[in-house]
Amino acid sequence: MSSAEQGSTSHGGLGHWKWQRASSLLLIPFTAWLLSVIVHLSSANYVQARDFFSQPLQAWIAIVMTALVAYHAQTGIQVICEDYIPPPWQAILIWLTRIACLAGFALIAWAMIAMSTGAPA
């Protein structure tokens, strides 16, 4: 019986699948929050938007959502790379994806923390 028939994978695909689904479920309330923020701030200028995100709760919600989006994106792109990219490029693209997601998260987290503490950005 092959490993595919037994339901096992060599790279832990079931773990990725579970975490991908968990992150997508966790993103549902955060997406509702983001849509309400977009509606609320649709006519706001920079100062009003900065004042909104200077509230610690709003900043932390944005940081947690950003972490979830970065994780969800990285996991999804990794699965695509593992399925469709040949091995010489696979590891490089997965590594670059992780770096890009981490950098994006770090930049947004830094901006949210700077705004919530009143530090100049």
**Would the pTM of this model clear 0.75, i.e. be above it?**
yes
Band (pLDDT 50/70/90 cuts) for residue 43 is very high
* Cα dihedral value 99, 116, 66, 23, nearest 10: 130
* Distance, first Cα to last Cα, the chain: 59
* CA dihedral over 35, 39, 45, 47, signed as positive or negative: negative
Reply yes or no on whether the pLDDT at 16 is more than 50: yes
Q: Which CATH number does the domain 13-117 belong to among 1.20.1260.10, 3.90.1150.10, 1.10.10.10, 1.20.1300.10?
A: 1.20.1300.10
* pLDDT, average across residues 58-63: 96
Tell me which of 89 and 17 has the higher pLDDT: 89
The answer on pLDDT for 118 being more than 80 is no
Mean pLDDT of the region 107-117? 90
State the angle between helix axes of 46-53 and 87-117 in degrees (0 to 180), rounded to the nearest 10.
90
